[in-house]
Amino acid sequence: MSDIWAAPNRAVPASYFCVGIAMSFLRTPVSYYLVHELGASPSQQNVVVTLAMLPWSFKLVYGFISDNFPIGGMRRKPYFIAGWFIYSMCNLLLAATGRPGVQSVALLQLLGTCGFMMSDVTTDAIIVERSKNEPEETRGSMQATGYATRFCGSLLGSVLGTCVYNKERWGWGMTIGEVFLLNGLFPLLVVAPFMWTLRESAYVPRPGDRAAALRAQCDAIFTALSLRSVFVPMAVVFTYNLFQVPNAAWRSFLVEGLKFESFDLGLIGIVGSLFSSCGLIAYKRCFMGTGWRTIYRVTTTLTCFFSVVQLLLIFRVNQRFGVGDLAFALGDDALAEFVSAIQFLPVCQMYISMCPEGTEGTTYAILTTLSNVAGAVSFSIGTLLTHLWDVSNEAFAAGQFGGMWRLTLLTSLIQPLPLVLMGYLPANAEQQRAMQGNKESYRWGGTAFLVVLFGSLAWTIIESLIVIL
């Protein structure tokens, strides 16, 4: 069962592959459609992205349901199938609309992402359960392979998204409705053929009252979150992700300011996905034994550098040296994606070691949820920062980039600030396992963890709905 390519497990890499497609295929068509066809403002565009990201913050709910409410004696497979069905139906509804507005795109993408996230959480839980059978020295390899498969799907999705929605340049291509139709068919073609061979051992509930069992599991999870070896590293991860504030006006700047077309945006996505895959492979082969703190410090410094370099594009310095706008944007984004991918897997390894047996789905979900909520809040902050200076579509179309360079500089300088906390992060997997052996616990730590989690989630939902409605 530790072979991810064995027949009982093939639905797992198929699901990861389809998640990669789901994450990237619509990115270019929807971005260009919102700006060029609907004239959506940078804040509206960022809210659409935020709402699409928000279901990643519901992983806690999906994990809890999957762990505690089996269907037909199975805790994973039924939810795995239902999630992909919901995702397909939402995309087919958008396809039937033909030319959906900003609200329809935002809300149906929100619901659709909820669907595939349900499948993704159950896939993660399966991986965590299977990883228990891996040798100690190679534990996490199945997960690394799964995420590498996801990034391969992301690369393919980027290529297809670029090619099928490029009618203005090539004279042929799909409408946005047809793009949504194709996206809805992907799970039926990629994942469905392997669903029925996915093996899951029958779940035998422990004797006793279900309510008592649920309370016992909640107590076990809270106990885990109250461990200093859990809430301290997670506080560092949350703070770090919170400060990775994106430049919400960047896409509008490329389309309206530099006159990038859908193909240009798609090409940037393709190259970014390719370099992300290379980054994962590089980590697995070259940096698996490198300390986590070192990886965070080096990658964050490089990411900050690449973000600041974008100022050269805004001030048109690249043209003085004969470097085209697209070539410059491609190189900058590709290197940034490569570095970010290297940073991705260490924290996943840390999550696995924190999961107690019997509550893998819920515990892994709550840990990743906190990280994802921080990312969603950072996007909300990015939306608010667009109001500091004039970064409207009209300003970009008129060649007024004063607000753009200020926003770019601000978001670039914010990102490295959490590096001062790296001393509180485990240095490597060995230190994390040693910390797990220390049962030092503080109830206020677990309480603070949950307050920050649900408070951040509520803030993101309220702020996004205010902008979009």
For residues 292 and 297, what is the distance between their CA atoms, to the nearest angstrom?
9
Contact 265, 255 (CB under 8 A): yes
Residue 171 forms part of a structural domain: yes
Structure tokens at 348: 């996943």
Phi, psi of 260 (to 5 degrees): -70, 145
Helix (H, G, I), strand (E, B) or coil at 227: strand
pLDDT (tens, 9 = 90+) of the chain, 469 residues, equals 566 777 778 888 899 999 999 988 998 899 889 988 888 888 888 888 888 878 877 777 887 788 778 888 788 889 999 999 999 999 999 999 988 999 899 999 999 999 998 998 888 888 877 776 666 655 667 777 887 888 788 878 888 888 888 877 777 789 999 999 999 999 999 998 988 888 776 565 665 556 777 787 788 778 878 888 888 888 998 999 899 898 889 989 998 999 998 888 888 888 887 888 788 888 878 887 788 889 889 989 988 998 899 999 999 999 898 889 999 998 888 888 888 888 777 877 777 777 666 666 667 767 777 888 888 889 889 988 999 999 998 999 999 999 999 999 999 999 999 999 998 888 877 787 777 777 788 899 889 988 988 888 888 788 777 766 6
Residue 122 forms part of a structural domain: yes
Residue 81 forms part of a structural domain: yes
pTM above 0.85, yes or no: no
Helix (H, G, I), strand (E, B) or coil at 304: helix
The amino acid occupying position 144 is A
Residue 343 forms part of a structural domain: yes
Residue 2 forms part of a structural domain: no
CB under 8 Å to 434, separation ≥6 — which residues?
none
Query: Quick one: DSSP state of residue 132?
Result: T
Distance of alpha carbon 280 from its chain centroid, rounded?
Answer: 15
CA angle 26, 29, 31 (to 5 degrees): 95
Structure tokens at 60: 């806690």
**Tally of domains in the chain:** 1
CB under 8 Å to 296, separation ≥6 — which residues?
240, 343, 346, 419, 422, 425
**Range of 317's domain?**
7-196+209-468
CATH code of the domain in which 137 resides: 1.20.1250.20
Return the sign of the alpha-carbon dihedral for residues 114, 120, 124, 129: positive
For residues 304 and 214, what is the distance between their CA atoms, to the nearest angstrom?
44
Return the sign of the alpha-carbon dihedral for residues 354, 359, 363, 365: positive
Phi, psi of 276 (to 5 degrees): -65, -45
Distance of alpha carbon 47 from its chain centroid, rounded?
Answer: 15
Backbone conformation region of residue 8, classed left if phi is above 0, alpha if psi is from -120 to 50, else beta: alpha
Residue 204 forms part of a structural domain: no
pLDDT, position 360: 62
Contact 102, 34 (CB under 8 A): yes
| Residues shown for the chain | 469
Up-side HSE of residue 420: CA atoms within 13 Å toward CB?
A: 4
For residues 14 and 17, what is the distance between their CA atoms, to the nearest angstrom?
5
Helix axes 443-468, 360-385, angle to 10 degrees: 50
Return the sign of the alpha-carbon dihedral for residues 341, 347, 349, 351: negative
For residues 104 and 97, what is the distance between their CA atoms, to the nearest angstrom?
9
CA angle 227, 229, 232 (to 5 degrees): 95
Q: Please name the helix (run of DSSP H) or strand (run of DSSP E) that holds residue 184, with its range, or none.
A: helix 176-190
Phi, psi of 441 (to 5 degrees): -135, 145
Contact 454, 377 (CB under 8 A): no
Residue 455 forms part of a structural domain: yes
- Closest to 233 (Cα-Cα) out of 33, 4, 434: 434
Residue 202 forms part of a structural domain: no
